Chain A
């Protein structure tokens, strides 16, 4: 035990000596979480800039305009009042949606002829597009109901009769788990786990390469310390930091970004522990087999986007080819992101999380086993001919 603690102490000294490593281990995760928190803190897309082209300018068309002015989902931009202006404003992003009321709107309405209102929205950003479509439907459903009620009243029906007719089939829409359509609840936790994944690997990934570059790895290899103790000692500081960061970021998410975090705390901690064991073990393995710190840094950095997209956290795995979905299932990130979402958003218990926990446990066991049983007889990486940057010794001032 003393040997492990000695190595851990030595690793801690390294972390505190290297200012950038210290930042990466303790500050950068929080910084990134704060940054993404600021970006997603509003959580709901409202005040979509809307241009209304009212070609009729009658009292009746004014009622349509008002229906859009009275919702916080839209912000009417008064400068846009012609069709050409709407086209131009949609192109340069001044408005993201538009409504065109035809010039004979009031006339047709009084004659009870079919009227057509055009609603357009910007499909170039689907977050805008899909939300705007939903908002349009909401406004228009309410507006149509009002129109129908007015028509029936005009036919001499009483209020009660109208209500009876219109309630023949009434639809009550209820959104479960994330009723406000909060984007923060949707995406923030996935980003937090990606931060822990990447920054965790970046920290622990240098633990062996640093020794290699200082020519001190040979001391570890030749010391009478078993491989598993070297791994345990070197991994311990990062494991502690990782669990600290995990708890800290969840707290930030819940209290500052208002992300919905419910469900059993014990279950969340268990997931975090398993995940951190995987990260620390994988980072150690990478560090063991990659020749130098520069390459570790380069490769790890590039992982984040593909891992995130592939995980099905945003675009669901059911809509991906089976091969890619299978590939995603081999990544710990996929399971961790999904598991933590099930606990925090859906308040799932151990029963629903059974498979996720099992897979993560297997991942943790296998990666820790491989890291703890590395061969101490491995030859150092061979130098291959003349090479410039990015080889066994990389540029440093």
Chain B
């Protein structure tokens, strides 16, 4: 009874292995992606933002202010240009004088106004810098204010009170050090993985009924369901197998956070793999050849990460677009990964995600079955 399933499964493993480019892609690309992105985000935080200070006052007071800035977190003062024009030049040519963007620059007029400039070209820098600068300026502003009050004959205690009646404690939950590697590394690697899986699952049907051997399979009387069920089992198994080392390295070696624990993560991954495979199978069933199947699959898979709202949040996209984004399995997966790795939202929450992905799987497989049933063996393959 099961020997036929077993035979088809063994044949599928051989099939996948024989497809050399697919073999290379499945074996190496997800891991290569992981290592590459681990390298890119190795420094984890955007600190040492290059800073220039223009001191037009050159008094002891301004010197004090400079000290404060030099000691500020995330800042690295690398230049002290003499004039404002020279500073502008540095920002403009920033990447030439000091490699990469001139993160933050400050022109200093003590006892009048301190102008703070931030290079807004790169947002990763700019938002980081703006938050840090605002915190530093509040502290420095308060210190200066206290001194002025004392100079005016107010007791130090009262002066302190005027400025320090409220303290703001700031906590970043789930990712307290604002670590970019925690945020992006695994997600990007999984993005590569889902693209590889899309490419592979796009071969599911066309890889059979696009070959001359399809005639033999039809003639042999094996049920189409049995054939594709056994094939799909192997492919899904392979997709899961290649994501395991990615997870292992990410969580065990690179020590990325995993708040929800393994069972929820693996279950979400499995159900997503099913839905992704069903989508690929659907693409495969409607295509005229393998190239088109791969194209259709990738046209969806490529932008899916941006659509998923993993980086630029879904809530910031137009209202009417948001429900459309949730039609993609990738949106559920990447959102789910974000919640599971950082937050552990509980099974009730995860259940919705599993249900949605499961529903998509059923719909896509059913549609693929409908398309495949209707297809006759094309004349070109019939050989008559």
- Give the interface of A toward B (CB within 8 A): 20, 24, 28, 32, 35-36, 38-42, 45-47, 49, 90-93, 109, 112, 114-131, 133-134, 136-138, 140-141, 143-144, 147-148, 151-152, 155, 164-166, 168-179, 181, 183, 186-187, 191, 198, 202, 206, 293-295, 297-299, 301-302, 304-306, 309-310, 312, 314-321, 323-324, 338, 341, 345-346, 348, 352, 355, 386-391, 394-397
In the complex formed, the residue of B with least CB distance to A151 is B162
Instruction: Say yes or no: B123 contacts A352, CB within 8 Å.
Output: no
Instruction: Say yes or no: A123 contacts B176, CB within 8 Å.
Output: yes
Instruction: Say yes or no: A352 contacts B118, CB within 8 Å.
Output: no
Q: Is B72 located at the chain interface by the 8 A CB criterion?
A: no
Give the docked Cα–Cα distance between A41 and B312 (Å). Answer: 11
Contacts known (A28-B299, A168-B145, A341-B121); A130 close to B311, Cβ less than 8 A:
no
Contacts known (A112-B165, A120-B173, A171-B137); A389 close to B345, Cβ less than 8 A:
no
Instruction: Say yes or no: B138 contacts A137, CB within 8 Å.
Output: yes
Q: Which residues of chain A have C-beta atoms less than 8 A from B313's C-beta?
A: 45, 125, 127-128
Give the docked Cα–Cα distance between A145 and B121 (Å). Answer: 30
Q: What 1/0 flags go to B268-309 for Cβ under 8 Å of A?
A: 000000000000000000001111101100110111011100
Instruction: Say yes or no: B134 contacts A181, CB within 8 Å.
Output: no
Instruction: Say yes or no: A388 contacts B207, CB within 8 Å.
Output: yes
Given A92-B339, A172-B116, 8 new contacts (CB under 8 A): A42-B317, A124-B338, A129-B172, A170-B141, A173-B118, A178-B126, A302-B196, A389-B22
Contacts known (A93-B339, A171-B114, A297-B291); A165 close to B145, Cβ less than 8 A:
yes
- Give the interface of B toward A (CB within 8 A): 14-15, 18-22, 25, 29, 33, 36-37, 39-43, 46, 50, 65, 91-93, 95-96, 99-101, 110-111, 113-128, 130-131, 133-135, 137-138, 140-142, 144-145, 147-149, 152, 154, 158, 161-176, 178-180, 183-184, 188, 191-192, 195-196, 199, 203, 206-211, 288-292, 294-295, 298-299, 301-303, 305-307, 310-313, 315-318, 321, 338-339, 341-346, 349, 375, 378, 380-381
Instruction: Say yes or no: B145 contacts A294, CB within 8 Å.
Output: no
Give the docked Cα–Cα distance between A318 and B317 (Å). Answer: 31
Partner of B138 from the list A144, A152, A198 (CB cut-off 8 Å) is: A144
Q: Which residues of chain A have C-beta atoms less than 8 A from B126's C-beta?
A: 175, 178, 181
Instruction: Say yes or no: A125 contacts B40, CB within 8 Å.
Output: no
Instruction: Say yes or no: A173 contacts B134, CB within 8 Å.
Output: yes
* Pairs of residues from A and B, 8 with the lowest C-beta to C-beta distance, nearest first: A123-B175, A395-B210, A178-B120, A396-B289, A137-B134, A124-B342, A318-B100, A123-B172
Give the docked Cα–Cα distance between A91 and B71 (Å). Answer: 35
Give the docked Cα–Cα distance between A380 and B310 (Å). Answer: 45
Q: Which residues of chain A have C-beta atoms less than 8 A from B315's C-beta?
A: 47, 49
Q: Which residues of chain A have C-beta atoms less than 8 A from B18's C-beta?
A: 386-389
Partner of A309 from the list B149, B163, B188 (CB cut-off 8 Å) is: B188
Give the docked Cα–Cα distance between A303 and B166 (Å). Answer: 51
Partner of B33 from the list A42, A198, A306 (CB cut-off 8 Å) is: A306
Instruction: Say yes or no: B175 contacts A118, CB within 8 Å.
Output: no
CB distance from A48 to the nearest CB of B (A): 9
Instruction: Say yes or no: B42 contacts A396, CB within 8 Å.
Output: no
9 interchain pairs, CB-CB under 8 A? A39-B317, A40-B312, A119-B171, A144-B163, A155-B154, A301-B302, A314-B124, A316-B46, A394-B210
Q: Which residues of chain A have C-beta atoms less than 8 A from B121's C-beta?
A: 177-178, 186, 341, 345-346
Contacts known (A315-B124, A320-B40); A133 close to B21, Cβ less than 8 A:
no
